[in-house]
Every structure is written in structure tokens, then in C-alpha cells.
């Protein structure tokens, strides 16, 4: 499943091309987009890929409007129950919501900026009925450069667990697998605990991480049931703009650091690397 939007369309197209070349076995790819992006993303549909509108996934009262502070360039999502949300917030909600709409036993989340570089069968994520859960133990400390501490505090309140202690486990990557039945249990747990729709409960604040919520639910509510933790990230991710120098040379260095067990790369769209340079570096690697 890939939650995307128009500004990432070309990145998503490259991801789909690489997926079609490299992903093996039995799979269906769901592109989760806002209703106003459905027509654009229909270009990417095929025998194994379909576009799903968020209108079929999320409550009717969560609606996108033009952000008045963006000069018409961006959308914000409004609801009567919380603060305005950005697109990246709603993308997280779409991924969680999909579990109630599909029959597949597992959901493999793939960000738009991922490029598959090695053959991979998602069935390999299952071992003896347990699904591999990405978990980097004790990876979160007080000096994290992102909002991990706020996300941990949010999941404390949302799941009725905690309080979290540092160092804490990190569950975030751009290629991760969730059990569909566990994801359904998660939203049911949230609704039972808070007495309201799970989307409303999650979006009481804008500081949330769906990967953190799912991972802590598995470990701290279900006691690891149905999962097998692994610290091996399947995607080599370029998170920060100062991690590698800009341009094709920096991307070549980044690709050289890909670990043997990793099946793809993810160059975050906000770090400034040009998509043409990414394509060129990937083509060079495959040559």
C-alpha cells in the first residue's frame, strides 16, 4: 500500500515501475490518494494495482480544503473534532484505515519515494505464521532530530500504555509490514478505550506516528502476538539533507552504503535530491 499525492506523482511512478520489475509472488498494490487525485493516479493502475480514494476509507467529516495560507498550492484537512491536518497526517490515516477494506493477510507499506533495487517476495516476511515487525531496539533517545518523543507520548495516551522510557524502540521505516488482522484489532482497541471513532481519537493532536502506534500496540498491548521483531530495515533511507552531498555524486555514495539485506532505497522528497539524478543513479547501479 502506498499513500501518495499529486506532488509525488513522478516519484510514485518510478516506485511502481521498480515494484513491477522486482516484487515477486502474490501481491496487489493499493494506491491510497485523496479524491481529487484519483484521476491522476489512475494512470498507474494495472492488473495488480488499483487506486483507492480516501473517501472510501475515512470518515465523511474529515474533509480537504484549500489552505488559505498557501496561495492555493496546498490542502489542509478539517474536522469538527481537532486541529487542521496536513496531507502527511492523512496519509498515515489512510494506511491504518485500509485494513478494514481488504482481505489480504498482510499490508506492506511502501512510501512514494522508495525504489526497489533487488528482487523480493513479500511472503518472505512470514515465518511460522508470524509476520516480521521492523523494530530497532533502544534507538530513540532524547537527542533525536525528529519528533519521536512527541509520537511516543501520543501513543502512550492513545493506547493506554506507558509512560514510555528512554531509550525506546523505533518502528519507523519506509518499507514495513503490518498484519491486517492486527491493524483491525488496533483500531478496535482505540475505539473501545476512547469511546469514539479511531480517527477522531488519533487526531486529537497532530503529533502522531502510525508506525509507532502499531509497533507499540503489538509489543505493549498484544505482547508481540503474531509477530517476529527484526532490526533489519528493508529500505536504505536518506532522511536528512546533510547526510550526503547534493547531486549525483552524493547519491552514488548513498547507494554504495546499501546493506546486503536491503531491497530498496528511499530518498525523502524533502531532502532536495533531484528525481532525474535519482533515476540516473539507479540506472547506473543496474548497468
The 10s digit of each residue's pLDDT in 16-36 is: 999 999 999 999 999 999 999
Q: What is the mean pLDDT of residues 35-53?
A: 97
Closest alpha carbon to 52 in 12, 20, 4, 7: 4
Residue 243: pLDDT over 80: no
Higher model confidence: residue 40 or residue 252?
40
Q: Which residues contact 88 (CB under 8 A, 6 or more apart)?
A: none
Q: What is the mean pLDDT of residues 247-254?
A: 86
CA distance 99 to 184: 6
Return the residue matching grid coordinates 528512554: 166
Q: Give CA 3 to chain center in angstroms.
A: 7
Average pLDDT of the chain to the nearest whole number: 93
Strand partners, 179: 106
User: What confidence tier does 145 reach under pLDDT thresholds 50, 70, 90?
Assistant: confident
CA distance 56 to 247: 40
| Least confident range of 84-98, 175-189, 196-210, 263-277 | 263-277
pLDDT at position 161 is: 97
Residue 118: pLDDT over 80: yes
For 163, counting Cβ atoms within 10 Å of its Cβ (0-12 exposed, 13-18 middle, 19+ buried), the class is exposed
Can you give the pTM of this predicted structure? 0.93
pLDDT at position 90 is: 98
Q: Percent of the chain at pLDDT above 90?
A: 80
Strand partners, 237: 266
User: What confidence tier does 286 reach under pLDDT thresholds 50, 70, 90?
Assistant: low
pLDDT at position 194 is: 98
3-state SS, residue 22: helix
CA distance 75 to 98: 22
User: What confidence tier does 70 reach under pLDDT thresholds 50, 70, 90?
Assistant: confident
CA distance 176 to 171: 9
pLDDT at position 144 is: 86
For 218, counting Cβ atoms within 10 Å of its Cβ (0-12 exposed, 13-18 middle, 19+ buried), the class is buried
pLDDT at position 185 is: 98
Residue 255: pLDDT over 60: yes
Cell of 261: 539485506
For 276, counting Cβ atoms within 10 Å of its Cβ (0-12 exposed, 13-18 middle, 19+ buried), the class is exposed
Return the residue matching grid coordinates 484549500: 66
Amino acid at each position: 500500500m502506498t499513500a501518495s499525492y499529486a506532488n509525488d506523482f513522478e516519484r510514485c511512478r518510478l516506485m511502481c515501475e521498480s515494484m513491477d520489475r522486482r516484487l515477486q509472488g502474490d501481491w496487489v498494490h493499493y494506491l491510497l490518494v485523496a479524491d481529487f487525485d484519483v484521476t491522476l493516479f489512475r494512470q498507474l493502475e494495472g492488473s495488480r494495482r488499483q487506486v483507492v480514494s480516501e473517501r472510501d476509507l475515512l470518515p465523511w467529516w474529515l474533509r480537504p480544503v484549500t489552505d488559505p495560507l498557501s496561495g492555493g498550492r496546498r490542502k489542509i484537512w478539517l474536522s469538527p473534532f481537532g486541529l487542521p491536518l496536513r496531507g502527511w497526517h492523512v496519509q498515515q490515516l489512510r494506511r491504518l484505515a485500509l485494513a478494514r477494506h481488504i482481505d489480504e493477510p498482510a499490508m506492506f507499506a511502501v512510501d512514494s519515494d522508495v525504489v526497489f533495487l533487488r528482487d523480493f517476495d513479500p511472503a518472505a516476511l512470514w515465518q511460522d505464521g508470524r509476520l516480521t515487525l521492523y523494530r530497532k531496539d533502544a534507538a530513540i533517545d532524547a537527542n533525536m532530530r525528529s519528533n519521536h518523543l512527541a509520537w511516543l507520548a501520543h501513543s502512550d495516551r492513545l493506547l493506554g500504555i506507558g509512560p514510555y522510557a528512554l531509550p525506546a524502540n523505533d518502528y519507523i521505516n519506509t518499507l514495513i509490514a503490518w498484519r491486517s488482522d492486527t491493524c483491525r484489532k488496533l483500531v478496535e482497541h482505540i475505539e473501545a478505550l476512547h469511546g469514539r471513532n479511531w480517527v477522531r481519537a488519533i487526531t486529537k493532536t497532530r503529533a502522531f506516528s502510525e508506525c509507532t502506534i502499531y509497533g507499540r500496540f503489538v509489543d505493549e498491548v498484544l505482547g508481540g502476538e503474531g509477530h517476529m521483531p527484526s532490526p533489519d530495515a528493508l529500505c536504505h533511507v536518506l532522511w536528512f539533507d546533510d547526510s550526503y552531498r547534493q547531486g549525483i555524486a552524493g547519491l552514488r555514495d548513498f547507494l554504495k552504503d546499501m546493506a546486503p539485506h536491503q531491497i530498496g532505497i528511499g530518498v525523502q522528497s524533502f531532502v532536495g535530491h533531484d528525481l532525474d539524478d535519482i533515476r540516473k543513479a539507479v540506472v547506473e547501479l543496474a548497468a
